[in-house]
Structures are given as structure tokens and as C-alpha cells.
Amino acid sequence: MSKILLLGATGSLGGHVLRQAIAAGHEVTVLVREPARLPAGTHDRVAVHTGDLSVALPPSVVRGHQVLINCAGNVADGGHFVGLVGRIVAAVESLPPAQRPICWFLAGAALLDIDSAGRRGVELPNVRATYWPHELNFARLQRSAIDWRLLCPGPMVEQPALGLRRLRISIDRLPVEAPDLGRTVPHSVALPLFASLIPQMIVPYADAAALMLANLEHGNAMARHRIGLALPIGMHGRKPEGIGARARPING
């Protein structure tokens, strides 16, 4: 079992991570602005720090944990979201290498490579307008020496878990089949293709949480990679908002 520092525990995904981590026997610490908003039945089962990530993440809060999972922030907050992730990375970097936890961060499917040419959804104008912070956060992680993993699901929904054995999981590329467009195909063609693939990547919060908690080892195959998650072949989910909408999840 691991000592986990969870950020964003009062949000939709964070609540699932919190409940699953407690059920699995992990020792969990949370940093929240309003402890009263923690999921019912969890407050007395975790160590609670009160703080505001929009201001700072004290390295003293990070120290002593083997894992840091960040579920805080919203891509629609633009530069504020970039700043939040930057503060978290800096707090981990301030610790001696041997004391740094492995770190899970959140982005979205738009950050994954669509095909072997390396084009990403975030390059497409209608997508980039909202999801550009993911690209900056990814670049910040790449410059860092910490052991990070970046979960890049499509929209997440409040539905029963399907189980990781049923889901498609990918590293750095979309977890769904897409034609190899190449770099010469215009964005006007690539955008509708990308949009058509999103329903396959609408996954339950519970499965996204389970994927992170199943990969907490230093230097495993997911270390320093973007991780995609999709429904079983033939299954499609539903998302209320269209691409580029100000959705609740921080992914896109």
C-alpha cells in the first residue's frame, strides 16, 4: 500500500480516487480548501490539510508521500490551470530526488497523437481554443525530471465502472483506431475525424480513477507518458457538451 497525496479530492474524479484509495487500504492525505465538501464517510479516514492550490503547494505537504495524484483544476480556467500544474511540479521538484513521489496528472484525449504522423487534436483550431493549456502543462512535465504520468481520457461521466480489463488503454496515441492522415491533410478534414472518435473515449470516472491507482510504481511502462483510455470496441458513450464546450472535467 502507498502513502498518497490527493489534490482535488472534492471534485468528481477526485472523489472516486479518494473512495477507491481508501477501499484499497492506501494511506491518503488530501489538500482541500473546504474539508466539509469531502465525500461522505471519508473525512475521518484521511489526513486533511487545508490549503489553496491557486496560491501554493507547500513542499512540506508533499514530503513523505510515495504518490501524488492531481485531480484539481479545470482546463477552461486557461492560464490559471497552467499555473496550478506548474506550482505542483515545482513543489515536487524542490524535494531531493529520492523523496519525490510518482505523480499522476490529468489532461485530455486532444493531447494524444491521432496517428503515426504525430498530429494531435489540440492542434486543430476549434479544439485548441479551449484545450491549449494541456499542451503547456505537457511541455512543463517534459522539462521536469520527476516521475510523472499524464492521464488523457475523453470526457468522463458518472456511470458504473466497466473494469480496466474491458477498456482499451494506450500510451501516447489515441486508444482507438484512426486512419493515418499524415501532416498534409488539412485541419478541416482532421477535425471531423477527431470529433467522430470522441464517443469511444467517453469513460466513467470510476475507471479513470482505477487506472491511476493500478499504476503507482516508479518507472513502470506508463512513466513519463500520456495515457489514453477508451471503451470496449463497438461501445460509444454520450457527452452533453460538444468539443470545445466548458465541460466539468479537466480533460478534453
Q: What is the pLDDT of residues 129-158, one digit of tens each?
A: 999 999 999 999 999 999 999 999 999 999
Length of the chain (residues): 252
35: amino acid identity, one letter: P
Confidence of residue 118 (pLDDT cuts 50, 70, 90): confident
Between residues 239 and 13, the one the model is more confident about: 13
Asked, for residue 30, whether it belongs to a domain, the answer is yes
Tens of pLDDT, residues 157-181: 999 999 999 999 999 999 998 877 7
Residue 155 neighbours by CB distance under 10 Å? 23
Instruction: Tell whether the model's pLDDT for residue 90 goes beyond 90.
Output: yes
Domain total of the chain: 1
Q: Is residue 242 part of a domain?
A: no
Q: Between these two residues, 126 and 207, which has the higher pLDDT value?
A: 207
Range from 162-166, 183-187, 238-242 carrying the lowest mean pLDDT: 238-242
Is 42 inside a domain boundary? yes
- Residue 26 pLDDT > 80: yes
At residue 231, what is the residue type?
A: L
Residue entry with cell 513519463: 224
Share the mean pLDDT of the chain.
92
What lies within 8 Å, CB to CB, of 236 at 6+ separation is: 199, 200, 202
Full domain range(s) for residue 93: 3-230
Whether residue 215 is contained in a domain is answered as yes
Q: Which residue, 214, 184, 198, 191, is CA-closest to 69?
A: 214
User: Could you tell me what percent of the chain has a pLDDT over 70?
Assistant: 93
- 177 in a structural domain: yes
The CATH number that applies at residue 56 is 3.40.50.720
Question: Residue 51: inside a domain, yes or no?
Answer: yes
The reported pTM is 0.92
Residue 148 lies inside a defined structural domain of this protein: yes
Question: Is 236 within a domain?
Answer: no
pLDDT at 240: 56
Above 70 in pLDDT, residue 20?
A: yes
Give residue 146's identity as a one-letter amino acid code: I
